């Protein structure tokens, strides 16, 4: 699929910094955290936006944010503002949120509903397919059909919305989607509603947010609420001198639960492709501790009405991690999705969405407070960890430190993927 090219590929400020970026990449030491400029410098940030966020599939939201035709959300990815709308045929479309007249931002709100897309400036009017249908005072020779909104590639993966700003998006996403579909489909996210959305801004580089997400080394000491239900070993832990027994016990629990879930028609096996493909991802249905039902304060379901056709509450949590910016947990009663969107080198938006069955009634089947308690607490704790690390890596005393071979394999997979994709982007533009 190709979308007509428009002049959006490379940020002009990147021009003079290639040698600096090459040198930084050359100095990278596998098995160690990244050098400070990766988290601090404006040049790296511009390269991240150009080569990571404008070249890959970025998770931006969930279909239940737009249940009806005309419903829309806007999402900012760096300097790009995107408009994602539900069209009259119930399809989802993404456009640049930029008027084809003189460039005004079209929709200012984060979310809303509209019949047509009307520019606030001179009222050029577009339909939900992005076609320009009305423009006053433009004369006989003006061709409306040449002034439709610029489209952006969009994939709806069982209710998870990914966009790609590149002219030619990574093609391997189709394979990722095919492999993930059987895992995700039984939870029927498309039949859900958004019960809560919380945006927080972390005063840290987006890579610190992601690195923090990719390990549970820090969980026991920092996340009393999350570790009620979440086993710390579910993040690719490898048996080492101090955790061999725990990892072995966890693997036994995984094995018996997987047999049970597979018999219910729920694919559960781990797929580990975080740094072995362009559209890196990882999935596994992970058992939950104690009541074993959901990521709540007592590990019991937060919503009495279960998702899809589920009758069984103890389905663990299907975790799905994508490079470069998302992670998700699909349980029997709700889905929680996270997107990470960089704002500047030292600030990152983390958006959390909780979805429940669309027929669930607030106050009867669930309470937002109970539904969101664990991840609101966990997000606040993670934010402090990311911000403390951002302040630390800004110190002249910081030097890259070693990853734990037993607990930080997925952090290393993230770093590997990131430097590989950054280098590929830089080389491809030479
Ligand atoms: S800038 Fe949109 S109508 Fe003029
Ligand atoms: Fe955490």
- Integer-rounded Cα radius of gyration of the chain: 22
Q: Which ligand is nearest to the CA of 99?
A: 1
Q: Which atom of ligand 1 is nearest to the CA of 122?
A: 3
Q: In angstroms, what is the span from residue 146 Cα to ligand 1's centroid?
A: 15
Distance CA 115, CA 94 (A): 16
Burial class (CB in 10 A: 0-12, 13-18, 19+), 192: buried
pLDDT tens readout for residues 137-160: 999 999 999 999 999 999 999 999
- Output the 3-class SS for 101-146: CCCCECCCCCEEECCCEECCCCCCEECCCCCEEECCCCCCCCCHHH
Contact 228, 219 (CB under 8 A): no
Beta carbon of 124 within 6 Å of any ligand 1 atom: yes
The backbone torsions φ and ψ at residue 253, rounded to the nearest 5 degrees and listed phi first, read -65, -45
Distance CA 86, CA 363 (A): 29
Q: What is the mean pLDDT of the chain?
A: 95
Contact 305, 357 (CB under 8 A): yes
Beta carbon of 142 within 6 Å of any ligand 1 atom: no
Q: In angstroms, what is the span from residue 262 Cα to ligand 2's centroid?
A: 29
Q: Which ligand is nearest to the CA of 125?
A: 1
Q: For a pocket test of ligand 1, which of 81, 83, 95, 99 has the largest count of ligand atoms closer than 8 A to its C-beta?
A: 99
pTM (two decimals): 0.95
pLDDT, mean of residues 78-84: 97
Distance CA 379, CA 373 (A): 10
Q: Is the pLDDT of residue 13 over 90?
A: no
Q: Which domains does the chain have, with CATH numbers?
A: 170-415 (3.90.380.10)
Q: Tell me the pLDDT band of 430, cut-offs 50, 70 and 90.
A: low
Distance CA 50, CA 57 (A): 13
Q: In angstroms, what is the span from residue 230 Cα to ligand 2's centroid?
A: 11
Q: How many CB atoms lie within 10 A of CB 103?
A: 11
pLDDT tens readout for residues 176-192: 999 999 999 999 999 99
pLDDT tens readout for residues 193-205: 999 999 999 999 9
Beta carbon of 107 within 6 Å of any ligand 1 atom: no
Q: Which ligand is nearest to the CA of 132?
A: 1
Q: Which residue has the higher pLDDT, 269 or 3?
A: 269
Nearest protein Cα to ligand 1, atom 1: 102
Q: In angstroms, what is the span from residue 384 Cα to ligand 2's centroid?
A: 10
pLDDT, mean of residues 232-258: 93
Q: Is the pLDDT of residue 12 over 80?
A: no
Q: Tell me the pLDDT band of 10, cut-offs 50, 70 and 90.
A: very low
Q: Which atom of ligand 1 is nearest to the CA of 106?
A: 2
């Amino acid at each position: 699929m190709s979308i007509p090219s428009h002049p959006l590929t490379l940020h002009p400020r990147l021009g003079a910094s290639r040698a600096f970026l090459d040198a930084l990449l050359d100095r990278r030491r596998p098995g160690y955290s990244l050098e400070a400029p990766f988290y601090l410098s404006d040049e790296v940030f511009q390269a991240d936006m150009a080569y990571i966020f404008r070249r890959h599939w970025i998770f931006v939201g969930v279909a239940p944010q737009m249940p009806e035709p005309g419903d829309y959300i806007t999402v900012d990815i760096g300097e790009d503002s995107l408009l994602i709308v539900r069209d009259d045929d119930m399809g989802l479309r993404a456009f640049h949120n930029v008027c084809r007249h003189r460039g005004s931002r079209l929709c200012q709100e984060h979310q809303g509903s509209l019949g047509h897309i009307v520019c606030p400036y001179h009222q050029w009017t577009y339909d939900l397919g992005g076609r320009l249908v009305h423009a006053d005072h433009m004369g006989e020779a003006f061709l409306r059909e040449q002034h439709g909104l610029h489209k952006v590639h969009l994939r709806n993966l069982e209710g998870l919305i990914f966009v790609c700003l590149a002219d030619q998006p990574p093609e391997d996403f189709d394979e990722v989607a095919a492999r993930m579909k059987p895992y995700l489909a039984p939870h029927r996210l498309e039949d859900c509603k958004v019960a809560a959305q919380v945006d927080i801004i972390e005063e840290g580089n987006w890579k610190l947010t992601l690195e923090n997400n990719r390990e549970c080394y820090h969980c026991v000491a920092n996340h009393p609420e999350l570790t009620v239900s979440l086993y710390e070993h579910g993040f690719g832990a490898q048996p080492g001198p101090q955790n061999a027994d725990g990892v072995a016990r966890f693997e036994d629990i995984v094995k018996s639960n997987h047999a049970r879930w597979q018999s219910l028609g729920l694919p559960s096996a781990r797929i580990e492709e975080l740094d072995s493909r362009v559209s890196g991802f990882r999935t596994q249905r992970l058992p939950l501790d104690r009541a074993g039902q959901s990521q709540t304060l007592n590990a019991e379901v937060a919503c009495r009405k279960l998702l899809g056709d589920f009758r069984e509450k103890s389905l663990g949590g299907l975790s799905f991690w994508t490079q470069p910016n998302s992670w998700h947990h699909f349980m029997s009663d709700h889905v929680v999705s996270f997107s990470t969107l960089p704002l500047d080198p030292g600030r990152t938006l983390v958006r959390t969405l909780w979805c429940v069955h669309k027929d669930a009634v607030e106050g009867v089947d669930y309470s937002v407070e109970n539904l969101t308690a664990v991840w609101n607490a966990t997000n606040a704790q993670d934010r402090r960890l990311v911000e403390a690390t951002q302040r630390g890596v800004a110190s002249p005393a910081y030097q890259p430190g070693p990853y734990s071979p037993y607990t930080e394999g997925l952090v290393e997979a993230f770093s590997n993927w990131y430097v590989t994709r950054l280098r590929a982007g830089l080389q491809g533009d030479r």
